[in-house]
């Protein structure tokens, strides 16, 4: 599937500005961004619920930009499930097939198969009001998958679930998507959801595609300061390159790995991931050594978050909770390897 220079205007407002995406068959792609950024509008254009003002949407090389929903063979799972309250689970799931005029002899085995896949066989005669939020979400997914769509689309499907259920459903959706090998586009504003579920993530700000990359690349190698901030980078320090492998900051001289796209004397932003920093009580023998004093400590069980004052700038450091606890007021050294430092161009 390809989205080429797609633009969407509503009156005088531009919701989407020339977005390009190339989505591989069987890939799970997350559209990620804050509320109002245009991610749901993008999804609706791919589904055929909205038509682009300009640009092309290609399915297997065929331009479907002006085609209605029924000509695209897509399946949509909405945030609010949209289940029929007067129908049982099995009738909700089979609804799409019945509307299409599928013979009952074909519906029955497909219904049994999909209910088994989504682990709802024992609930087939229940009504939506008798189900939990997670079970209702699985009914909505099963109702979509039973029609065998070429593309599965999900618009913030976990937003109504509690934290524990969201985690369980993320794993369930990922396993289901891999089992069916179906191309899936998933809209979310939750970075954790996108990172855990997606093969690649499209980050959208104000209708513009900021970066389309793997979760690992987005997290460790964001292209812009906005992407780094949105993906949770807490330590970003301005600096200036003094050589290909060294940058001067108000933390001192920081060694980095040389990059072809950044030259000496260039102004940059230095990203130091909090979990990439080791907190040490003695100066490290190699790597970047930054002195400071612990000014705050928060214990979260699995990890400990430290605030370290380094010459007037606070740096956040996250360490495993079982390692050891360092008291507030303790002089420390921050140890970070040059290849764990990431530079952002201004």
Full-model pTM = 0.90
pLDDT at position 101: 87
Report the DSSP beta bridge partners of residue 169: none
Cα 22 from Cα 159, distance rounded (Å):
27
* Whole-number pLDDT of residue 100: 87
Give the pLDDT confidence score for residue 292 in this predicted structure.
96
The stretches in the chain having pLDDT less than 50 are: none
- 27-65 burial, b for 16+ CB within 10 Å, e for fewer? bbbbbbbeeebbbbbbbbbbbbebebeebebebeeeebb
Domain parsing of the chain, residue ranges: 2-229, 236-345
Question: Token pair of 229, please?
Answer: 């901030």
Using DSSP's 3-state secondary structure scheme, residue 274 falls into helix
Degrees (nearest 5) of the Cα angle 152, 85, 122?
75
Hey, which residues does 184 pair with through a beta bridge? 28, 152
Give the per-residue pLDDT at 344: 95
CA–CA gap between residue 305 and residue 317 (Å, rounded): 6
CATH code: domain 236-345 is 2.40.50.100
Residue 262's Cα: distance from chain center in Å? 28
| Percent of the chain surpassing pLDDT 90 | 75
Which CATH number among 3.40.50.300, 3.30.565.10, 3.40.50.720, 3.40.1280.10 corresponds to the domain 2-229?
A: 3.40.50.300
Strand, helix or coil at 137?
helix
CA-CA distance, 23 to 3, in Å (whole number)?
8
* DSSP percent split of the chain into helix, strand, coil, nearest 5: 30, 35, 35
The answer to whether the beta carbons of residues 177 and 169 sit under 8 Å apart is no
**pLDDT of the residue at 293:** 97
Alpha carbon of 62 to those of 43, 59, 72, 168, 232: distances in Å?
A: 18, 5, 10, 37, 38
Give the residue among 76, 78, 80 at the shortest CA–CA distance from 152. Answer: 76
Alpha-carbon distance of 251 to 343, in angstroms, equals: 15
pLDDT score for 133? 86
- Say what the pLDDT of residue 231 is: 93
Are residues 251 and 237 in contact, defined by beta-carbon separation less than 8 angstroms?
yes
Note the pLDDT of residue 161.
Answer: 80
> CA–CA separation, 139 vs 119, rounded Å?
10
User: Facing residues of 237 across strands?
Assistant: 270
Determine contact, residues 215/235, Cβ cutoff 8 Å: no
Q: Are strands 28-32 and 200-205 parallel, antiparallel or unpaired?
A: parallel
Distance, in Å, from the CA atom of 151 to the CA atom of 71, rounded to the nearest integer, reads: 12
Nearest of 308, 301, 302, 237 to residue 271 by alpha carbon: 237
Q: What are phi and psi of 287, to 5 degrees?
A: 80, -165
What is the predicted pLDDT for the residue at 160?
Answer: 76
The rounded distance, in Å, linking the Cα atoms of 277 and 291 is 12
User: Measured between alpha carbons, how far is 72 from 66 in angstroms, rounded to an integer?
Assistant: 10
Which strands, in side-by-side order, build the sheet including 252-255? 252-255, 246-249, 236-243, 267-272, 341-345
pLDDT of res. 12: 86
CA atoms of 215 and 64, how far apart (whole Å):
29
């Amino acid at each position: 599937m390809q989205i080429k220079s797609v633009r969407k205007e509503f009156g005088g407002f531009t919701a989407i500005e020339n977005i390009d995406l190339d989505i591989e068959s069987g890939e799970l792609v997350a559209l990620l961004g804050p509320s109002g950024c245009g991610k749901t509008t993008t999804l609706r254009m791919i589904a055929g619920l909205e038509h682009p003002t300009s640009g092309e949407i290609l399915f297997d090389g065929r331009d479907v930009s002006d085609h209605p929903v029924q000509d695209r063979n897509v399946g949509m799972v909405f945030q609010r499930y949209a289940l029929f309250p007067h129908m049982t689970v099995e009738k909700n799931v089979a609804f799409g097939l019945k509307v299409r005029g599928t013979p009952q002899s074909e519906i029955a085995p497909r219904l049994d198969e999909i209910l088994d896949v989504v682990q709802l066989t024992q609930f087939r005669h229940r009504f939506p009001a008798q189900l939990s939020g997670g079970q209702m979400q699985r009914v909505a997914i099963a109702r979509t998958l039973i029609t065998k769509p070429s593309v599965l689309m999900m618009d913030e499907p976990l937003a109504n679930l509690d934290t524990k259920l969201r985690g369980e459903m993320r794993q369930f959706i990922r396993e289901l998507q891999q089992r069916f090998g179906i191309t899936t586009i998933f809209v979310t504003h939750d970075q954790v959801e996108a990172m855990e579920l997606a093969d690649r993530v499209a980050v959208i700000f104000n209708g513009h595609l900021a970066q389309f990359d793997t979760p690992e690349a987005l997290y460790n190698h964001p292209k812009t300061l906005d992407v780094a901030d949105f993906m949770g980078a807490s330590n970003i320090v301005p600096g200036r390159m003094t050589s290909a492998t060294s940058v001067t900051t108000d933390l001192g001289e920081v060694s980095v790995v040389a990059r072809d796209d950044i030259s000496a004397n260039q102004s940059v932003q230095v990203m130091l991931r909090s979990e990439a920093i080791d907190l040490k009580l003695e100066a490290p023998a190699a790597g970047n050594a930054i002195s400071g004093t612990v000014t705050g400590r928060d214990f979260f069980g699995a990890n400990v978050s430290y605030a370290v004052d380094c010459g007037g700038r606070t740096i956040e450091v996250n360490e495993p909770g079982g390692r050891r606890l360092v008291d507030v007021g303790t002089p420390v050294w921050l140890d970070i390897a040059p290849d764990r430092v990431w530079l952002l161009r201004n």
